[in-house]
Amino acid sequence: MIKALPAVSYVMPVLNEAGHLRAAVMAVLAQEYAGEQEIVLALGPSTDETNRIAHELASADGRVRLVNNPERDIPIGLNLAIEAAHHPVIIRVDAHSELSPGYTERAVELLTATGAANVGGRMQADGTGHVQRAIAGGYNSPIGLGGGTYHFSEEPHEAESAYLGVFPRTTFDLVGGFDPLIRRGEDWEFNLRVRKAGGTVWFDPELQVTYWPRSSFSALTQQFFATGTWRAKLVRMYGGENPWRFFVPGAYVLALVAALTTAVLHVCGVIAPNAWWPWVLYAAPVAHAGLSLFAGAKMPETKGLRGTLLGALAITIMHVAWGTGFLRGFVFGSSKTLDRSRAN
């Protein structure tokens, strides 16, 4: 006798996603999975046509259910959607992403085979215009985001965190859900508590998700500044349990400020023209510029000189905005920082 596959609930916080919501939901509904399925959308206070589209999707397919998220924040939306979910397996999805075919079936197989408390796979960023493709290239480059497993790894293994994540409802109940006070990095913090509780987080590259990043450099700046600020909160909460790579952008921004300040003093004659030591400080921004240009030239998402320059700019914005936000959050805290890059 063949054992029936467990029913699954997809959960998706949604805010100002009129351009992507329909495709994201249809990618979920197109999953070929023999078990029962539903998708719960947690609707934030969108200012575009997102909520109208969500209601149209719910009217067209009974598997689509809606809950209200008046607070707009992702962890609150996740908690509300999971609490409203009916099924024992939770699959987190993003309104700015699309699941690959077979994602659900493979994820459920992994939960059974590994006994993991949470499983996740590869984020593959993509874009449609020159700027968005360059930003996607920054996401996909190890120089851009610093080597996180779910961006670059090719082998299945135990992981620190999981992109999006597929987990039994019991995992959510075990750790008390997502922390509603953490607006960014809530997934890493959730998985840290999972691991502290004795659970395993498992990565498998066969689980692929297409992610559509911000499409402008101004939105990217806002996003990464907020992300860096909230990472600082997690550093203040968990200290050395954070990976070393999260400290690098802040250190680079400090080095950049030191180099720029020294350059001004050098030009103004405060520092002797023949002094050798300022050139040690100048090495950091020069090396970073060279590395960014190299990464931009190697991105498969971009072509030619313009693509190289756009890719290098995307990586520079990621590092400087993230590092600046990190330093701001470390000194002043993060509670008032919002990511408004998709709020309008």
The model's pLDDT over 63-114, given as tens digits with 9 standing for 90+, comes to 999 999 998 889 999 999 999 999 999 999 999 889 999 999 999 999 999 9
Residue 338's pLDDT is: 64
Residue 214's pLDDT is: 92
d(CA 339, CA 176): 25
Residue 1's pLDDT is: 40
Cross-strand pairs, 203? 120, 157
Residue 72's pLDDT is: 84
Residue 340's pLDDT is: 64
Percent of the chain with pLDDT over 90: 77
d(CA 168, CA 172): 7
What is the residue type of 173? D
Q: Which among 96, 31, 17 has a CA at the least distance from the CA of 61?
A: 31
- Which residues of the chain carry a pLDDT beneath 70? 1-3, 146-153, 335-344
Residue 2's pLDDT is: 45
Q: How many CB atoms lie within 10 A of CB 41?
A: 31
Residue 204's pLDDT is: 93
